[in-house]
Amino acid sequence: MVTPGIQNKYTKWKYTLIVLIMLWGIVFALPNVFGEDHAVQVSGSRASVSIDIKIRELIISALETEKISYKRLEIGPDSLLIRFPDSESQLRGADILKAQLGRDYIVALNLASSAPSFLHTMGLNPMYLGLDLRGGVYFLLQVDMEAAIKKIEDSYIEEIRSQLRGEKVKYTAIKKDLTSGSGINIEFSEPASLDRTRSLIQKNFRNLQQSEPGPLSLSLSLGDRELKEKRELIIQQNITTLSNRINELGVAEPIIQQQGNDRIMVQLPGVQDTTHAKEILGATAILEFHLVDGENGWRQASTANSDSDVSINSRLYRDRKGRPVLLQKRVLLTGDSIIDASSGLDQQSGGPAVFISLDDKGAKRMEDGTRDNIGNHMAVVFIEKKTESRLDSGEIKRSVSTVEEVINIATIRDKLGRSFQITGLDSTREARNLAILLRSGSLASPIEIIEERTVGPSAGKENITQGFHVAIISMVVIATFMTWRYKVFGLIATAALVANIILIIASLSMLQATLTLPGVAGIVLTMGMAVDANVLIYERIREELRKGKGPQTAIHFGFNQAFDTILDSNLTTLIAAITLFALGTGPIKGFAITLSIGILTSMFTAVTGSRALVNIFYGSRKLQSLKI
C-alpha cells in the first residue's frame, strides 16, 4: 500500500540549526589543523620579577652564543614564548636558559599552537595531547602512610605531654605502643592521675579513642574516621605540593591524579630528563620562623660576608632580592605546625595578607616566642634542596644545592597564638603564593617512585602518525563499503561520518580534553557505530520498498521507525561509557570521554544530518524508484 502526499522536507529553522552547528564544529576544530611548535615559555617565579626587553635581549644573546636555532620570540603580558624548529633545539634551549636566568625565572617546556593569532584572540585552542602522543615521563608514586601516621602520633605525644605538665598530672611514661605498632601508651603510678588524664583527653583530644590495657595504663589510638580523613588530607597535601614543584620544574599541562588510597600518578608531557624530574618530585622543603636579630641590627647584616662575621647566636640569610638579613639561630616555629593558610586583605591597611592557623603545639610555641618580642621583626625562611644547571666549558652541568631564602619579614604587633596574619607583601599574587607555600610547602609524607616510564618525542610523534593513519584507513574502507552497498545513500553516510569526526574534534577542543591513544581508539570505534546507524536506516528503507511503498514514503518510514532502535543501541553504549569514566582511571577515562562524545555527535550526524542531506537530494523530487 502506497501512502500518497509524503514529502521529505525540513523546515528552514532546522536546516539553519544544522548549518550553525556544523559551522561551530569547523571553527572549533580549525586550530587542530595547523599543528604545534616546540616551544619554551619563560615567566617570572614571583610577581616582582617581570619580563621585559632586557630579558628578551639576554635570551636572544644566550641562544645565538650557543648557536641554537629558533623560529621567533613572542612577549606576552606575564611571559615570553620562544618557538623552536624541533624538539632537540627546544631541550637544548631550555637547558641554556635555565642556566642563564637562574631561580628568578621559570623555564617551561611547552608545545605552542601554530594557529593564526586571530583564532587565539577568539579563545580557540587545539585539544591537548596525552603523554603517549606528545612524549614525556610518567611516574607512579607510593605515599608512605605509616610514616605520616607516626608523625601525627608523635605530634599528639608532645601535645599530651605538654597538657599533663601544665595540669601537673603525674605520669611515669608516655610513648608509642610498641605492642600493636601504633597508638600511644601512658603509664601512671596512681589511679587519680589516670582518671584526670582520661578527662583531659576526653575534653581536649576527642578524636582519640581510649582503652585501658592495665590497671594503671591508658592506651590512645586514632579512630577509623580520623585515620581516613588524615590519609585523604595527606594525599591532597602531597598532590598540592607536587603541583607547586612541577610548576617550578616548568612543565606545561602536567597531570597529577590520585590512584587508589595511597598512590599518586604524575605525567609530565615534554619532559625527557627523568633524573631532574625525580629530584624535584622527591625534594624536601622546610619552612622556619626566626626572629630578626635586633641587637646587632641591619648594619652588621649589610657588612657581613658570612656567618663568621656575625654573632654566635645569629645567622646570615638573604631575601629573594639578594639583600642580607641577620636572623637569630633559634627556630621559633616550623611549617609542620601550620594546619591552614589563606590569603586575603588586611582590614586595617587594606593591603595583601596571609592568615595562618597553627596546631596546639605550634600555638603554644608562637605565644611563648612572641610574648616578649612585640615590636620586633619575624622572618619566614624557606629551605629547599634544588638541582641547579650551570654552563661549564660549553656543557650543562647539574649540582644539588640547598636554597635558604627569607620570603617574608613582618613586624610583631601583638602576642601571637593559634591564628595570626603576615602583612607587608608586594601583591595579592604574592600573598596567594605564600599561602599555598605555607599550607603545602613540604610533603605531608615521604613518597617513593615505584614505577616510571619515558615516552620520547619521536615515539609520541610516531603514535600520532599511526593513529592518524588508522583513522584515515578506517574512513576510506567504510566509505568504500557504504558507497558500494548503498550508492548515493552511502556517499551521504560518508559525508555524515566526516561531519561526526569534525564535531568530535571540536568538542574535545572546546572542553580542552586530553586526547590519548585509547581516545583515538574511541574515535575509530565511534566511526563504525556512526555508520551502523545509517545501515539500520537504509535497510529499513529497503524493507519498506519491498513492501511496495513509494520512494518518499520508504524514506520517511525508514528514518522514523529506525530511530527507536538506534536510540536504544546508543543509549546502552553511552551507559557503558559513563560507567567506564566513573570507575576507570587515566587512559580508560580518555577512551570513555571520546566514546561518549562520539555517541552523542553520531546521533546528530547519522540521523539528523544524513536526513537533511537525503531531504535535499530527494525530498522535492517525484521518484519512481530508488537506488539503494
The tally of CA atoms less than 13 A away on the side-chain side of residue 348 is 5
Measure the CA angle with vertex 338, ends 332 and 341; round to 5°. 120
How far, CA to CA in Å, does 79 sit from each of 75, 104, 339, 388, 614?
A: 6, 13, 33, 21, 52
- Among residues 512, 525, 522, which one has the least CA distance to residue 591? 522
**Average pLDDT, stretch 492-514?**
89
pLDDT tens for each residue of 426-484: 677 667 666 655 665 567 677 777 877 777 666 667 777 887 888 888 889 988 999 99
Q: How far apart are CA 200 and CA 216, in angstroms?
A: 16
Q: How far apart are CA 176 and CA 154, in angstroms?
A: 8
* Three-state SS annotation for 74-143: EECCCEEEEEECCHHHHHHHHHHHHHHHHHHEEEEEEEEECCCHHHHHCCCCCCEECHHHHCEEEEEEEE
Q: CB count, 10 Å around CB of 323?
A: 12
- Residue 17, pLDDT score: 92
Take residue 565 and report the three cell numbers written for it: 532502535
Take residue 567 and report the three cell numbers written for it: 536510540
* Three-state SS annotation for 19-54: HHHHHHHHHHHHHHHCCEEEEEEEEECCCCCCCCHH
Q: Is 494 helix (H, G, I), strand (E, B) or coil?
A: helix
Q: What single-letter amino acid sits at 187?
A: E
Q: Which residue has the cell 610547602?
A: 441
Q: Which residue has the cell 591508658?
A: 218
Q: Is 210 helix (H, G, I), strand (E, B) or coil?
A: strand
CB-based contacts of 87, cutoff 8 Å, min separation 6: 38, 135, 457
Q: For the purposes of burial, counting CB atoms within 10 Å of the CB of 481, is it exposed (0-12), middle (13-18) or buried (19 or more)?
A: middle
Residue 93: pLDDT above 80? yes
Q: How far apart are CA 126 and CA 86, in angstroms?
A: 19
pLDDT tens for each residue of 486-501: 888 999 999 999 999 9
Q: For the purposes of burial, counting CB atoms within 10 Å of the CB of 600, is it exposed (0-12), middle (13-18) or buried (19 or more)?
A: middle
Q: CB count, 10 Å around CB of 388?
A: 14
Take residue 106 and report the three cell numbers written for it: 621559570
Take residue 358 and report the three cell numbers written for it: 597553627
Percent above pLDDT 90 for the chain? 7
Task: Name the more confident of 328 and 282.
Answer: 328
Q: What DSSP character marks residue 548?
A: T
Q: How far apart are CA 269 and CA 455, in angstroms?
A: 9
**Average pLDDT, stretch 230-247?**
79
- Among residues 407, 255, 432, which one has the least CA distance to residue 343? 432
* List of long-range contacts for 334-340, beta carbons under 8 Å, 24+ apart: 334/286, 334/287, 334/288, 334/289, 335/286, 335/287, 335/288, 335/438, 335/441, 335/442, 336/155, 336/362, 336/442, 337/361, 337/362, 337/363, 337/365, 337/366, 338/287, 338/362, 338/438, 338/439, 340/439
Q: What single-letter amino acid sits at 115?
A: A
Q: Is 571 helix (H, G, I), strand (E, B) or coil?
A: helix
Say if CB 332 and CB 369 are below 8 A apart: yes
Residue 304: pLDDT above 70? no
- Return mean pLDDT, the chain: 79
Task: Name the more confident of 432 and 332.
Answer: 332
Q: How far apart are CA 45 and CA 296, in angstroms?
A: 32
Residue 385: pLDDT above 60? no
The tally of CA atoms less than 13 A away on the side-chain side of residue 572 is 6
Q: How far apart are CA 270 and CA 278, in angstroms?
A: 15
Take residue 254 and report the three cell numbers written for it: 602536567
Of 198-202, 236-240, 374-378, 598-602, highest mean pLDDT: 598-602
Q: Is 327 helix (H, G, I), strand (E, B) or coil?
A: strand
In 492-561, the DSSP E strands lie at: 514-515
Q: What DSSP character marks residue 70?
A: -
pLDDT band at 21 (very low <50, low <70, confident <90, very high): very high
- Residue 2, pLDDT score: 42
* Three-state SS annotation for 369-414: HHCCCCCCEEEEEEEEEEEEEEEECCEEEEEEEEEEEEEEEEECCC
Take residue 534 and report the three cell numbers written for it: 545509517
When mean pLDDT is compared across 25-39, 141-155, 544-558, the lowest value belongs to 141-155
The tally of CA atoms less than 13 A away on the side-chain side of residue 340 is 7
Q: Which residue has the cell 616582582?
A: 48
pLDDT band at 18 (very low <50, low <70, confident <90, very high): very high
Which residues, in sequence order, are bridge partners of residue 391? 396
Residue 391: pLDDT above 60? no
Residue 270: pLDDT above 80? no
Q: Hey, what domains does the chain have and what are their CATH numbers? A: 12-31+456-618 (1.20.1640.10), 36-114 (3.30.70.260), 146-226 (3.90.1070), 283-442 (3.30.1360.200)
- Residue 480, pLDDT score: 92
* Beta strands 514-515; 128-129: pairing state: parallel
CB-based contacts of 423, cutoff 8 Å, min separation 6: 346, 349, 351, 352, 353, 410
CB-based contacts of 408, cutoff 8 Å, min separation 6: 379, 380, 422, 424, 425, 434
pLDDT band at 3 (very low <50, low <70, confident <90, very high): very low
- Residue 309, pLDDT score: 57
**Average pLDDT, stretch 288-316?**
66
